[in-house]
Amino acid sequence: MPLRAHRKSLIIGAATMLALFTGTAFAADYEKMRPPRKLTKAQSERAAENYQKYCSLCHGVNREGYANDHAPSLRSQSLFESGVPHAVLRPLSYGREGTAMGGYLDEVGGPLTLDETWDLTYWLFWQAGVDRVRLSTNPVEGDVDRGRLLYAENCATCHGENGEGVDAPALGNQSALAHNTDEVIRYAIRHGRQGTPMPAWEDKLPSDDIDALTAFLRSKASGWTQQKPVLKAMPTPDQYVLNADGENPDFDLRDGRYVMAKDLLAAMESGKRMVLLDTRVTSVWQRVHLEGSIPIPYYTDFDELTAELPKDVMIIAYCSCPRAAADSVINKLRRRGYTNTAVMYEGIFGWMNMGYPVMRGEIAGMADSGSGH
Ligand code: HEC
Ligand code: HEC
């Protein structure tokens, strides 16, 4: 331990010296901000519980990331130096549309109150234990065309040709671009995300190039507004079984567990009897789901639920991950004696990509926006 601390202080010392000589912008040059409010013991315990219940499935028990779905680290130094609260509170509250990250705020149909989302944000900050730096909200100017070339050369392998995300976050995601200011994006590129595959580019690219990349990513933003869904009532137990008079489906399960989307669609179309579980956070069920599915998120109390769930009906679970949350639910059910169970292999995004039908939520104060804008 003392050895590591010693090495770290040497590195910091060298960096400060270098900064003095070259005038390069190191983290130390940013103005520090006051830390956010301290949590009470009760708030902190509650936040820790909420983290394990809702987030650890993908972000890992120790906030290390990559437990499932390539979910990023929730303890890297640069994220908590630059982001709190926007880069943490907003994705946690509203999700990142079109990714496995759903919204957890009650207002959009999630399980957490506004106070709980704030406490969880600050809890993550205090766990990371870093100082916040003050970043301006001014746009970063840069050469977009050069940024496009640099992106294709250096970033596309991990973040996708079009910023759609491969095993790294979707940088072209409209909610992410709306939540992160230019400086937050530039800070991530400069400093990387410690303890993750994201390198610090300030050692590899000149400052102008990092500005060009930031400006290029910003040019991908086409606007995003938080939509307020009209929350649907949750289905009641008497609505759980689809086609109660139908026959059970006869699936040929891959690995004794997975049903292909096309086989599930065929079973739905021919009126087979089954229960469909949507295992994602309930806010995303509100937005879009398979018709007849019931929202039974991965964090449900299964001892309570199983009182309501029949054992003689085929139960199929799905999520967007494409399988992590559904797998965890099916494991819990199988441990409780539900053997007639399966997971939809492709997940709901796979299902939608194939053009299969879904039910969409209603948005407050908006006409059907099919034509886009
Ligand atoms: C089903 C998996 C899953 C669960 C559960 C989940 N997340 Fe995420 N989360 C993701 C993924 C995937 C991303 C990255 C999405 C992208 O931008 O491509 C993400 C991104 C984030 C980000 C943005 C981080 C960054 O580096 O920009 C935050 C903050 C976050 N999640 C917080 C949470 C919190 C807090 C919870 C629990 C309340 C939670 N997540 C639950 C999958 C998940
Ligand atoms: C080796 C793979 C890899 C390469 C190459 C890479 N990144 Fe990343 N990047 C990642 C990963 C993984 C993360 C998420 C890290 C985490 O927080 O867990 C990330 C995170 C980011 C973030 C923060 C996103 C957010 O939502 O918080 C930005 C911005 C970013 N990268 C930009 C870039 C740019 C620009 C380039 C090219 C110059 C690049 N990255 C190259 C893997 C990569």
Pocket of ligand 1 contains residue 58 by CB under 6 Å? yes
- pLDDT per position as a tens digit, 232-255: 888 999 999 999 999 999 999 999
Same domain, 150 and 237: no
Output the CA 192–ligand 2 centroid distance in Å.
Answer: 7
Domain that includes residue 162, residue range = 21-219
Output the CA 72–ligand 1 centroid distance in Å.
Answer: 7
Q: Is residue 337 part of a domain?
A: yes
Question: What CATH number is given to the structural domain containing 118?
Answer: 1.10.760.10
Pocket of ligand 1 contains residue 92 by CB under 6 Å? yes
Pocket of ligand 1 contains residue 140 by CB under 6 Å? no
Residue type, 321: C
Query: What pLDDT score does 231 carry?
Result: 86
Q: Is residue 205 part of a domain?
A: yes
Q: Is residue 2 part of a domain?
A: no
pLDDT above 70 (res 17): no
Same domain, 160 and 283: no
pLDDT above 90 (res 200): yes
Query: What pLDDT score does 285 carry?
Result: 93
Burial of 367 (0-12, 13-18, 19+ CB in 10 A): exposed
Same domain, 191 and 311: no
pLDDT category of residue 228 using cuts at 50, 70 and 90: confident
Same domain, 47 and 66: yes
Which listed ligand is nearest to 57 at the C-alpha? 1
pLDDT above 50 (res 370): no
Looking at 174-188, 225-239, 286-300, which range is the least confident one? 225-239
Same domain, 201 and 334: no
Same domain, 239 and 215: no
Structural domains counted in the chain: 2
CA distances in angstroms from 364 to 105, 129, 287, listed in the order given: 17, 40, 12
pLDDT category of residue 7 using cuts at 50, 70 and 90: very low
Same domain, 210 and 274: no
Q: Is residue 60 part of a domain?
A: yes
pLDDT above 80 (res 15): no
Output the CA 354–ligand 2 centroid distance in Å.
Answer: 29
Among residues 164, 193, 219, the one where a domain terminates is 219
pLDDT above 80 (res 27): no
Task: From 49, 50, 59, give the residue whose CB has the most ligand 1 atoms within 8 Å, as the site to mutate.
Answer: 59
Q: How far apart are CA 200 and CA 11, in angstroms?
A: 15
Q: Is residue 257 part of a domain?
A: yes
pLDDT category of residue 225 using cuts at 50, 70 and 90: confident
Task: From 101, 198, 321, give the residue whose CB has the most ligand 1 atoms within 8 Å, as the site to mutate.
Answer: 101
- pLDDT per position as a tens digit, 88-145: 999 999 999 889 999 999 998 999 999 999 999 999 999 999 999 999 889 999 999 9
Q: Is residue 82 part of a domain?
A: yes
Nearest C-alpha to atom 43 of ligand 1 is from which residue? 101
Short-list 328, 301, 317, 327, CA closest to 351: 317
318, 277 Cβ separation under 8 angstroms: yes
Same domain, 150 and 243: no
| Average pLDDT of the residues in 344-366 | 87
Among residues 194, 219, 244, the one where a domain terminates is 219
Same domain, 155 and 251: no
Q: Is residue 369 part of a domain?
A: no
Pocket of ligand 2 contains residue 194 by CB under 6 Å? no
pLDDT above 80 (res 274): yes
Q: Is residue 122 part of a domain?
A: yes
Question: What CATH number is given to the structural domain containing 310?
Answer: 3.40.250.10
Q: Where are the beta strands (DSSP E) in 95-243?
A: 229-230
Query: What pLDDT score does 299 carry?
Result: 96
363-366, long-range: CB < 8 A, 24+ apart:
363/227, 363/228, 363/229, 363/230, 364/227, 364/228, 364/229, 364/230, 365/228, 366/227
Q: Which two tokens stand for residue 324?
A: 């992590």
Query: What pLDDT score does 364 carry?
Result: 64
Ligand 1 atom with least separation from CA of 173? 17
pLDDT above 50 (res 12): no
pLDDT category of residue 166 using cuts at 50, 70 and 90: confident
Q: How many CA atoms lie within 13 A of 119 on its CB side?
A: 18
Same domain, 200 and 268: no
pLDDT above 90 (res 190): yes
Query: What pLDDT score does 230 carry?
Result: 80
Looking at 217-231, 291-305, 321-335, which range is the least confident one? 217-231
Same domain, 171 and 292: no
Query: What pLDDT score does 9 carry?
Result: 44
Among residues 185, 219, 253, the one where a domain terminates is 219
Name the pTM for this structure: 0.86
Same domain, 215 and 253: no
The alpha carbon of residue 236 and the mean position of all alpha carbons in its chain are separated, in whole angstroms, by 28
